Amino acid sequence: MDEIFEQLLHLSARTETLIAVYDGDDRLQYANGAFRSVYFIEPDETPLWPDLMRRNFELRRGTVIQTSNFDEWLRSTQSRRGKIGYRAFETDLYDGRWFWMTEAVKKNGWMLCIASNITSLRAHGRTVRQDRDQAIKASYTDELTGVANRRFVMARVDDMLAAAQHGNNGCLAVFDIDNFKHINDRLGHHAGDVVLRDFAHRIHQNVRRNDCFGRVGGEEFLLVMPATGPEDAIAIVECMLTVIRFSRPLPESPDFSYTCSAGIAACVPSDSASDLYRRADQALYAAKLSGRDRVRAA
């Protein structure tokens, strides 16, 4: 087995195909020379994927990222990156080359990326394909907050329930911003929108690779946590609530703060998505009744 592994490493070093492996924290653990050359990565460097993308975006090299706000692009992209087992897409580089990129993700969050140069293929229809990809991205993204929308996050609930049929546990958390109507009434809808974006941004920064976080409507958000037991889920969500307590999102009101409540339900093989959602929502209601700014499990 070691000999086969050594042969694979030797072959990957000689190919022009881009090959890279990221761990569950999205840190680069292996990249062949072709990949490092395209993305300007030093031989001994193991950057986090967001840091690599930010650095190349600022220097206008590597992947072309068409946005005026990198953080919004990153939040939107990470809301979908690594959430499904496999995806494939085109990507273009600042040097004019085009690549066909595939991402395969294991249950532990490790990701294999392979990209082939398709620059020499006919460019006819490329703009149409780009427009299609942008439309697909928009259909899975919440416009206000930039995180996944109801359609995408509920599809991940279905994936988690399918895995539960084979003995893989998982949990669903429902978040609701406390007294949000009061925030809108007292400070205006613009402040309410700022709070929603702040909440999505701060929670998203603490979401693991294999988990999926999204807005399902109003001030309600879901966090899908595959292969996670209730105790771990509670610990994860409690850390998130702590992050929110310390947020001060309104520069014009520096003393303003807000909180949120959460309910958690563990999936069982007989669950439907509506069953799981209902139990998590009941746990959220219990958290609200017991004083808000806390998490309760069904």
- Tokens at 278, concatenated: 């209902």
293: left (phi over 0), alpha (psi -120 to 50) or beta: left
3-class secondary structure, 208: coil
Number of residues written out for the chain: 298
Cβ count near 30 (within 10 Å): 14
- Tokens at 181, concatenated: 């109507």
> Do 114 and 99 meet the contact criterion of CB atoms below 8 Å apart?
no
What radius of gyration do the chain's Cα atoms show?
A: 21
- Taking alpha carbons only, the member of 259, 294, 150, 174 closest to residue 222 is 174
**Among this protein's residues, is 219 annotated catalytic?**
yes
Active-site hit among 3, 219, 231, 238: 219
CA distance 164 to 149: 23
3-class secondary structure, 244: helix
Cβ count near 150 (within 10 Å): 15
Question: Which positions ≥6 away from 233 have C-beta within 8 Å?
Answer: 171, 173, 225, 264, 266, 297
CA distance 277 to 223: 11
Sheet holding 260-266, edge to edge: 212-217, 220-226, 170-177, 260-266, 295-297
CA angle 266, 267, 270 (to 5 degrees): 145
Instruction: Give the residue numbers annotated as catalytic, written as ranges.
Output: 219
